[in-house]
Amino acid sequence: MTPEFVVEFAKEAILMTIYLSMPMLGLGLLAGLIISVFQAVTQIQEMTLTFVPKIIAVFLGLLFAAPWMLEKVTSYTARVFENIPMYIR
């Protein structure tokens, strides 16, 4: 294994992690922004009002994105396992 191979392999793994986490992070960010605007408009400063909608938004996003995420992780893992003979040369 060359250093370039290791760097490329790590880069691919990090990009896959970012690619899979972005929808959930985006939903959490969007829910937080909407709740923040709502709190600013109504001047309600309840702490649970910020956390509960974010948790629900991320959970629903995870529920709908789980098949897509599972397919991506499965194909990535299968590709890694198929290429193991190339990695050990």
pLDDT at 3: 85
Burial of 82 (0-12, 13-18, 19+ CB in 10 A): exposed
- Helix, strand, or coil (residue 47): coil
Q: Which helix (H) or strand (E) holds 42?
A: helix 3-42
Cβ contact 19:37 at 8 Å: no
pLDDT at 1 (0 to 100) = 74
pLDDT averaged per 10 residues in sequence order, the chain, 89 residues: 87 95 94 92 84 93 95 94 85
Rounded to whole angstroms, the Cα distance separating 87 from 81 reads 10
Query: What was the pLDDT predicted at 47?
Result: 80
Q: Say what the pTM is.
A: 0.77
88's tokens: 């050990």
What burial class does residue 75 get, using C-beta atoms within 10 Å of its C-beta: 0-12 exposed, 13-18 middle, 19+ buried? exposed
